[in-house]
């Protein structure tokens, strides 16, 4: 049955749930004491068991977002072609440029310079000696923060169009054994897991100080393009999705076991260090969780409602704006209040979940700002 034009609600739901997990992760990350770059630091040298959440989420939630983006790219391009749109690739890339590249460039100057201001304060007011006119542009660059994701995604969209041009728009042969035979699909998932591990090996294991090595390890283009292309060329198949949906329970059990072993054996380490990320156990857990989450949502959450519809529409905007709330309130509560740690975490979490939608709804109602910051056209 051709379901190319039917809405995959499970895909929408998994995307916004994963975005919410990013928001929660950043609250914990901001106060971690594990040496992870970018936070303001923890509340002492003792164990912070709330940091466990970083070990649980970080191995899989960003690869999963790229994987879902690849699946969505397949549907967008395939549906445009089925509807007879002229040059669907060109129209799709134009919309990707507005939605991704504009917020990741012009949006820095309009909005994210404020995030950059707090980022430089967290780093110790490193721009104190810089003349004021130059501080604004440096704040803008420092405000990229989570926007590296959409910068990577725009680049991968360009690469995908080049691949389609080279192959003359050839579609994956979804009638082949790779997409129809259960055991061959299992073998394919194992092989793709190997690619997941190989992608992590492209990191610079000993980054040099004062060099672009840190940026390479942040953007990880040769790693993240792998799940993006996996999504487009393989996981866009209905048969593959149905297989994951039927196997979600054993996949989730295996993922939780791998994750439990990972957390128990590595808690206290910098979970974003290149060697940690490239370890076999981290890769096994990350890959299994990507599969398990897709299977779980395919099997149980392929439906929608008012709240889910709102989150589907707004999750991209929440991702864009949320880190200003984290950086500003997180910084001020740590330095200018005497609140106990548990209340700081709670207040920051509630603020991020409540103020991010308010900020998003405000920005999307302001002409020009809506386009520059959120990549949205006129309502």
Question: For every one of its 379 residues, what pLDDT tens digit does the chain have, with 9 covering 90 and above?
Answer: 334 457 899 999 999 999 999 999 999 999 999 989 889 999 988 899 999 999 999 999 999 999 999 999 999 998 876 676 778 889 999 999 999 999 999 999 999 999 999 999 998 888 888 888 899 999 999 999 999 999 999 999 999 999 988 887 555 556 677 788 888 888 999 999 999 999 999 999 999 988 899 999 999 999 999 999 999 999 999 999 999 999 999 999 999 999 999 999 999 999 999 999 999 999 999 999 999 999 999 999 999 999 999 999 999 999 999 999 999 999 999 999 999 999 999 999 999 999 999 999 999 999 999 999 999 987 6
Residue 124 lies in a domain: yes
Classify each residue of 98-119 as buried b or exposed e, where b means 16 or more C-beta atoms within 10 Å of its C-beta: ebbbbbbebbbbbbbbebbbbb
Nearest one of 52, 77, 74, 60 to 14, comparing CA atoms: 60
Tokens of 270: 């910098």
Given a contact cutoff of 8 angstroms between Cβ atoms, the answer to whether 68 and 60 are in contact is no
Judge whether 1 lies within some domain: no
**CA–CA separation, 143 and 148 (whole Å):** 10
* CA–CA distance, 317 with 359 (Å, rounded to integer): 9
Measured between alpha carbons, how far is 200 from 218 in angstroms, rounded to an integer? 12
Q: Which of 44, 54, 69, 38 is nearest to 159 (CA)?
A: 69
- Specify whether the CB–CB gap between 246 and 299 falls below 8 A: yes
In a domain, 2, yes or no: no
How far is 296 from 358, CA to CA, in rounded Å?
30
For position 175, what pLDDT does the model report? 66
Both tokens of 304, joined, read 């929608």
Contact between 79 and 4 under an 8 Å Cβ cutoff? The reply is: yes
Q: List helix spans (H) across the chain.
A: 9-30, 52-57, 61-82, 88-96, 102-107, 113-122, 132-142, 148-166, 177-180, 182-200, 213-219, 221-230, 238-246, 248-266, 274-277, 280-300, 306-336, 341-363, 369-374
Residue among 286, 224, 301 nearest 8 (CA): 301
In a domain, 292, yes or no: yes
Domain total for the chain? Answer: 1
What pTM was computed for the model?
Answer: 0.94
pLDDT attached to residue 2: 39
Flag whether 3 is in a domain: no
State residue 303 phi and psi, 5-degree precision: -155, 170
Expressed as residue numbers, the domain containing 83 is: 9-374
Q: Could you tell me the maximum CA-CA distance found in the chain, to the nearest angstrom? A: 65
In a domain, 91, yes or no: yes
The pLDDT assigned to 129 comes to 86
Between CA 239 and CA 312 the distance in angstroms is 24
Domain-located, residue 127: yes
Are the beta carbons of 236 and 71 closer than 8 angstroms? yes
pLDDT score recorded for residue 179: 83
Q: Which residues contact 46 (CB under 8 A, 6 or more apart)?
A: none
| Confidence (pLDDT) at 1 | 35
Examine residue 4 and state whether it is found in any structural domain, yes or no: no
Closest by Cα among 48, 105, 17 to 312: 17
CB 233 within 8 Å of CB 73? no
């Amino acid at each position: 049955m051709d379901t190319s034009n039917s809405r995959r609600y499970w895909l929408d739901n998994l995307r916004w749930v994963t975005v919410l997990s990013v928001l929660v992760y950043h609250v914990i990350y901001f106060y971690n004491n594990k040496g992870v770059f970018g936070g303001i630091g923890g509340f002492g040298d003792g164990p912070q068991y709330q940091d466990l959440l970083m070990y649980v989420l970080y191995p899989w939630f960003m690869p999963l977002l790229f994987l879902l983006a690849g699946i969505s790219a397949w549907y967008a391009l395939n549906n445009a072609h089925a509807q007879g749109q002229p040059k669907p690739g060109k129209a799709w890339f134009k919309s990707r440029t507005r939605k991704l590249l504009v917020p990741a460039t012009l949006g820095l100057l309009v909005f994210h310079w404020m995030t950059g201001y707090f980022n430089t304060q967290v780093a110790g007011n490193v721009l104190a000696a810089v003349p004021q006119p130059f501080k604004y542009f440096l704040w803008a660059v420092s405000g990229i923060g989570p926007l590296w994701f959409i910068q990577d995604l725009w680049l991968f969209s360009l690469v995908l169009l080049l691949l389609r041009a080279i192959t003359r728009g050839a579609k994956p042969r979804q009638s082949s054994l790779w997409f129809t035979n259960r055991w061959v699909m299992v073998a394919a998932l194992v092989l793709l897991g190997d690619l997941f591990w190989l992608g992590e090996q492209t990191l610079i294991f000993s980054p040099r100080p004062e060099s672009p090595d840190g940026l390479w390890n942040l953007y990880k283009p040769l790693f993240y393009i792998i799940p993006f292309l996996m999504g487009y060329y393989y996981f866009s198949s209905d048969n593959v999705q149905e297989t994951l949906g039927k196997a979600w329970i054993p996949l989730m059990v295996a993922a939780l076991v791998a994750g439990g072993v990972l957390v128990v054996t590595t808690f206290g380490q910098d979970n974003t260090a290149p060697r940690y990320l490239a370890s076999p156990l981290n890769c096994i857990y990350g890959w299994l969780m990507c599969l398990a989450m897709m299977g779980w949502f395919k099997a149980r959450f392929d439906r929608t409602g008012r709240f889910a519809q709102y989150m589907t529409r707004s999750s991209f905007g929440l991702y864009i704006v949320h880190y200003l709330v984290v950086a500003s309130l997180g910084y001020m509560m740590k330095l200018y209040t005497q609140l106990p740690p548990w209340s700081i975490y709670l207040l920051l979490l509630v603020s991020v979940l409540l103020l991010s939608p308010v900020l998003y709804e405000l920005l999307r109602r302001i002409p020009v700002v809506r386009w520059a910051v959120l990549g949205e056209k006129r309502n």
